[in-house]
Structure 1
Amino acid sequence: MRTLWKGAISFGLVHIPVGLVSATSQEGVDFDWLDKRTMDPVGYKRINKVTGKEVTKENIVKGVAFEKGRYVVISEEEIRAAHPDSTQTIDIFAFVDSAQIPLVNIDTPYYLAPQKRGEKVYALLRHTLVDTGKVALAHVVIRTTQHLAAVMPVDSALVLVLLRWPAEVRSLDTLELTEAVTKVTLSKSERDMAKRLVKDMSADWQPDEYVDTFQDQIMQLVETKAREGKIESVETPGDADEQKSADVIDLTELLKRSLNSKKPRAAESAKTAAPNKKKAAEAPAPKRRSPARKKAT
């Protein structure tokens, strides 16, 4: 797996060389593009949202909304100067109980891979965190952005979890919960029944069973419609020949997937099938390939 960042965990005089590896597939000041000649908003396709005309790169500046309809323009030099220095270290500044970190502050996890000659001290830190029941709070700069993070043990490895800054997490007061929730009266029988239901539904963590089936269902629908001939040809004006070629390629791929998705027919169906279809029914169908999943970044 590709290492995204190399540096060291640092606490006291201890330095542990590590590499950062993404554990998932996956923002700072929100800069909007503006036309510097008119201060009109510019879309990400460099189109002036007011005039509808294209804006060249040299006419685009970055602005931060100060008030509705009013922006403060920030130059690239000012942005670079504001970035924190990249020290290539995960600077631990405190150890806390993991339960003290609110769930809503947890953002993105990364695996920490020990680098050469850092294996023993890496293992020492992991064992120490396990023995003390603590996690390490740290500061780390990744791609010029400073993060609050937690270093914690997971099985035989260490994980760096980027945390949302406390100012980024809204207070529960925003929910405006009423006394119907905060001071509700629950009977003993209601509590007992709820506990019994939880007990009956209790299970072990089974990650292989928790699958997002949306992509599979969509691809099955595409294949079904392709077999039924429900395929639309779309041509771009002025480029009909190129688009036609692309349609053929797409259709070929869909047909391949369709063939791969077919299963062998039952023996009884094969016997009653027409002679010209019997061979195809008896032949084993190729194993259907699952749609490719998004690569972790």
Structure 2
Amino acid sequence: MAPRATWKGYIRLAELAFPVSLYAGATTSKRVSFHIINRKTGNRASREYIDEDTSKPVDREHQVKGYETGEGDYVILTPEEIAAALPESDKTISIEGFVPLDEVDTVFLDKPYYLAPADGILGETFAVLREGMRRRKVAAIGKAILFKRARTLVLRPEGPGLAACSLNYNYEVRPASEVFRDLPDLKIEGEMLDLARHIIETKMGEFDPRSFDDRYDQALAELVKAKAEGKEIKVPPRKREEKVVNLLDALRESAKAAKASGSKRAASGSKSQAASRRKAG
């Protein structure tokens, strides 16, 4: 079944405007998820809001949002007041400008999406923009109201369409200097640097998301299956991490392991190629 668009509107660039459909670029629907169950009854439990002073449940019609201005002091906002403050959507992604692809800092990336010409639209203008961006190797910066929030988006060519990603605002991103402020400026030279380079070179490859395994989710799925089949679950003891005593020795061992792993991959690749040649012959 074809994916369903989560938003439909227009891309506007200067005097150009053309209809597009936006699709979610990622989903968590395939992850293992759990419900909260009452162990005594086996029934599913639900959440409710409790008044901190009276300890009594608060009915939905009495639930309002409040902003704390001081300890125990709140400014109460009604749903109507909040709705009035939200920006109205004009269903338009306005292109503000273009930047080189490699200038987009990944720490600002938030949620991924895909953009395609709207249903039934040939999309010639869409294709012109996409190809122009592809050939210049640039990304577009656009602004839109998405899902009741003002968003800045970065758009880049992706196959016959566009990939888009909402961006975190500058005030939301913690500066790296705050985290790295107290790190010493160490100069790494000599054998340690050579070993590090060797390890990197033997581990070099291509970015392939298909090789990324969600081992935790897979383990949960296997655990659920075993439990459902009535199998006994044994919890193994946690392994303690070994401390690295000598960095140089550890690098030497890592380099040996990386070299051995690379040799095995090369041998396996040679065997596969030889087998393919025999089949072809």
Please confirm whether the aligned pair reaches a TM-score higher than 0.5, indicating the same fold: yes
Q: Which moved more, 1:82-91 or 1:205-214?
A: 205-214
Which residue is equivalent to 2:84?
A: 81
Residue 219 of structure 1: aligned partner: 221
> Is the Cα contact below 8 Å between 1:17 and 1:118 reproduced in 2?
no
**Once the two structures are superposed, what CA deviation does each residue of 1:87-110 show, in whole Å capped at 9, x if it has no partner?**
101011111122222211001111
Q: Deviations for 1:220-264, whole angstroms, at most 9, x for unmatched residues? A: 233334545669xxxxxxxxxxxxxxxxxxxxxxxxxxxxxxxxx
> What's 2:72 paired with?
69
Give CA-to-partner distance per residue, 1:57-105, whole Å, 9 cap, x none. 2322111233443322122222112111101010111111222222110
Q: How does 1:180-191 map to 2 (within 5 A)?
A: 180=184, 183-191=185-193
What count of residue pairs does the alignment treat as equivalent? 213
- 1:167 is the counterpart of 2:171: yes
User: How far 1:9 moved relative to its partner?
Assistant: 0.6
Question: Are the structure 2 counterparts of residues 140 and 72 from structure 1 closer, same or farther at C-alpha, using a change threshold of 3 Å?
Answer: same
In structure 1, list runs of 5 or more residues that go unmatched. Answer: 27-42, 232-297
Q: Does the CA contact (< 8 Å) of 1:63 and 1:71 recur in 2?
A: yes
**Equivalent of 1:57 in 56, 60, 71:** 60
Distance 1:191 1:158, change over 3 A: same
Residue 109 of structure 1 corresponds to 112
- For residues 101 and 194 of structure 1, the distance between their equivalents in structure 2, rounded to whole angstroms, comes to 28
Distance 1:13 1:201, change over 3 A: same
Change beyond 3 A, Cα 1:49–1:131: same
From the superposition, tell whether residues 84 and 226 of structure 1 become closer, same or farther in structure 2 (CA, over 3 Å).
Answer: closer
The alpha-carbon distance between structure 1 residues 227 and 60, as it changes in their structure 2 partners (threshold 3 A), is closer
Aligned mates of 2:128, 2:19 — CA distance in 1: 13
SS, match of residue 47 in structure 1: coil
Cα deviation digits, residues 244-287 of structure 1 (max 9, x gap) = xxxxxxxxxxxxxxxxxxxxxxxxxxxxxxxxxxxxxxxxxxxx
Q: 1:87 aligns to what SS in structure 2? A: coil
**Bigger Rg, which one:** 1
When the two chains are superposed, the root-mean-square deviation of aligned CA atoms in Å is: 2.2
**1:18 matches 2:20:** yes
CA distance in 2, matches of 1:135, 1:206: 22
Stretch deviating more after TM superposition (211-220 or 2-11): 211-220
Greater CA drift, 72-81 or 138-147: 72-81
What amino acid sits opposite 1:193 in the alignment?
Answer: L
Q: Which of 91, 95, 114 is matched with 1:92 structurally?
A: 95
Question: 2:192 and 2:144 mapped to 1: Cα distance?
Answer: 48
What is the 5 A alignment of 1:1-297? 1-25=3-27, 45-115=48-118, 116-180=120-184, 183-228=185-230
Letter in 2 for 1:197: I
Letter of the 2:20 partner, please give it. Answer: V
Q: Deviations over 1:104-142 (max 9, x none)?
A: 100111110112335111111111111112111111111
Contact 1:16/1:118 (8 A) holds in 2: no
1:141-176 per-position Cα deviation (integer Å, ceiling 9, x unaligned): 112211011111123320121001111111123215
How far did residue 218 of structure 1 move? 2.4
Are residues 223 and 130 of structure 1, via their aligned partners in 2, closer, same or farther at CA, if it must alter by over 3 Å?
Answer: closer
- Aligned in 2, Cα 1:65/1:176: closer, same or farther, shift over 3 Å? farther
Q: SS of 1:9's equivalent?
A: strand
Could you tell me which runs of 5 or more consecutive residues in structure 2 were left unpaired when the two chains were aligned. Answer: 29-45, 234-281
| 2: CA distance, partners of 1:57 / 1:224 | 40
The residue matched to 2:64 in structure 1 has which SS? strand
Q: Is the 8 A contact 1:16 1:122 kept in 2?
A: yes
